[in-house]
Amino acid sequence: MRAALVTGPLGTRVTEAGAREQEAVLKSLPAELREPRRALAAGAPARAEARGETSWISTAAIDRHGDVVLPGGMDDRHFAANPVVTWNHDTAGPPAGLSAWRRVTARGVLARTVYPARPEELAPAVAWTPDLAWALVRSGLLVGKSIGFLATRTRAPTPEETRARPEMAGARQVVSGWILLEYACVFLPANPETLVLPEGAIRALGERTVELAMKRLGGRAGEAGGGDGWRKK
């Protein structure tokens, strides 16, 4: 029988033991990071950076193609020079947003995506993709993320990996090295774990607090060879 889930202090659904672990980690942070941040008062102007969310863009879970993409294998140096976030991997159309940062954890890659406000000089008749993307994210209709990458090293799961995670025995391959080309806002991600994190916890505790807590938890805040071309996950 599975243990009942509760909402932990980081805003994710976890077991009661997981919630206690999150609470312990939060209490271990520096005092200035433990103070809850006040919510924006009603009617107060929203800052440009408020149009953003934090997501898993890749995790070490077995995806729907049977592949495991190891977070430590990411190379995002080229992406960092032009960090556009696409709409459903459409590299020909206008982007949905920009990636402010990426962080590698034991579980996967966290990223902050911002959706820039519409420029005043843009004609009213011209569609502004970030507006639509941000509206759908806030409504809960667009909460998936998917990476477009170039695999540089692939291999079979090792005996150590299958002992630690028996489900790895059924993996098609492990991608241990990869170049991040882009990531996208998608409705149905190949990796079922690559989703937007609950923003309520980030607003209440502060982005830096959540990021540091998840790092100390090893990325478990939500837990209950050769290349083969550009891949989308």
**Contacts of residue 53, Cβ cutoff 8 Å, sequence gap at least 6:** 112, 113, 137, 196, 197, 199
Tens digits of pLDDT across the chain (233 residues): 556 666 666 655 567 777 777 677 767 766 555 544 333 333 333 344 579 999 999 999 999 999 999 999 999 999 999 999 999 999 999 999 999 999 998 889 999 999 999 999 999 999 999 999 999 999 999 999 999 999 999 999 999 999 999 999 999 999 999 999 999 999 999 999 999 988 655 555 555 666 666 666 655 444 433 444 556 66
pTM: 0.69
CA distance 115 to 212: 23
The continuous run of DSSP H or E covering 184 comes out as strand 173-186
Phi and psi at residue 164, in whole multiples of 5°?
-75, -35
